[in-house]
């Protein structure tokens, strides 16, 4: 292989990594249906419906509710007990760095 071919392959690999990171981010912070949200939160759909006044959501139509995954995670964080704050901060900083938010 010549030097140009290796350079082209490196550029392709860089682009693939970038696309993979974007896809990972989109999968992480996407909109979920009521059923998907219930599964994500380990709650029943009825419990979620009963708590709609406090759970962030989007009412697309009279019957269709959508929930943004990141907003559900943020909402759940208010119920957290114990843990290691330093480790949480390290994980948050690492994820932000990988996702290009810092």
Give the model confidence (pLDDT) of 53-100 as tens digits: 999 999 999 999 999 999 999 999 888 877 666 667 777 888 888 777
Write the CB contacts of 47 (distance below 8 Å, at least 6 apart in sequence). 38
Lowest-pLDDT choice from 15-24, 26-35, 39-48, 63-72: 15-24
Q: What is the CATH number of the domain that holds 38?
A: 1.10.10
Q: Cα–Cα distance between 76 and 35 in angstroms, integer?
A: 17
Give the predicted TM-score (pTM) of the model.
Answer: 0.57
pLDDT of 3 higher than 70: no
Report the number of distinct structural domains present in the chain: 1
- Does residue 86 lie in a domain region? no
- Does residue 97 lie in a domain region? no
């Amino acid at each position: 292989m010549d030097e140009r071919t290796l350079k082209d392959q490196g550029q392709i690999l860089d682009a693939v990594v970038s696309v993979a990171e974007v896809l990972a981010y989109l999968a992480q912070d996407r909109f979920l249906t009521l059923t998907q949200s219930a599964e994500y939160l380990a709650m029943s759909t009825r419990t979620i419906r009963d708590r709609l006044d406090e759970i962030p959501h989007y009412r697309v139509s009279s019957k269709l509710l959508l929930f943004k995954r990141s907003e559900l995670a943020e909402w759940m964080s208010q119920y957290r007990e114990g843990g290691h704050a330093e480790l949480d901060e390290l994980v948050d900083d690492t994820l932000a760095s990988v996702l290009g938010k810092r």
